[in-house]
A = this chain, B = another copy of it.
Amino acid sequence: MSQPSEFMKAAINEAERGIRRHDGGPFGACVVKGDRVIALAHNMVLKTGNPTQHAEVVAIGLAAKRLGSHILEGCDIYSTTEPCPMCFSAIHWARMREVHFGTSVPDVQRLGFNELTISNRTLKRLGKSPLVIHAGVARAACRQLLVDWKNLPDQQTY
């Protein structure tokens, strides 16, 4: 494989597999490095019972395992739907290069996927989440953790 359309097709096939198995939502992802597919995954939230197991998160975990590094530099990801903020940020933390996606938030909204109204294109709307935020709880002690970390002799990217 070496074409974006082929990588996306692989992601789509994966999403279809997920739909058939009812493992989770209808979403697939494909991690690519150069012309090589590193990892393929579909949403596994229902199968695993873990709300973090979106296709992208699963694919990134598999890719990291395969490449032996939590840094996926030079890798691209193909997602069937615009990554949610969790996945978009996971992609960021993995230091990936490019994101390719199919359907966008307006597409999924029109189909009644209301939960996906938070996306990388509408991240600023996240403030409308019903979550209540409490800032500054035990701030000094928390800050100390950061200082302690900075004082370690051998720091790595985390």
| Total A residues in contact with B, Cβ cutoff 8 Å | 93
Bound complex: CA of A33 vs CA of B113, how far in Å?
Answer: 28
Bound complex: CA of A46 vs CA of B158, how far in Å?
Answer: 6
Bound complex: CA of A89 vs CA of B87, how far in Å?
Answer: 9
When the two chains form their complex, are residues A123 and B85 in contact, meaning their CB atoms are under 8 A apart?
yes
When the two chains form their complex, are residues B103 and A146 in contact, meaning their CB atoms are under 8 A apart?
yes
In the complex, the chain B residue whose C-beta lies closest to that of A143 is B103
What are the residues of chain B within 8 A of A54 when measuring CB–CB?
A: 93
Q: How far is the CB of A65 from chain B (nearest CB, A)?
A: 7
Q: Which of B95, B100, B120 contacts A137 (CB 8 A)?
A: B100
Bound complex: CA of A120 vs CA of B147, how far in Å?
Answer: 22
What are the residues of chain B within 8 A of A81 when measuring CB–CB?
A: 142, 145-146
In the complex, the chain B residue whose C-beta lies closest to that of A48 is B70
Bound complex: CA of A107 vs CA of B142, how far in Å?
Answer: 10
What are the residues of chain B within 8 A of A124 when measuring CB–CB?
A: 123-124
Q: Which of B4, B26, B146 contacts A26 (CB 8 A)?
A: B146
Is A2 on the interface with B (CB-CB < 8 A)?
no
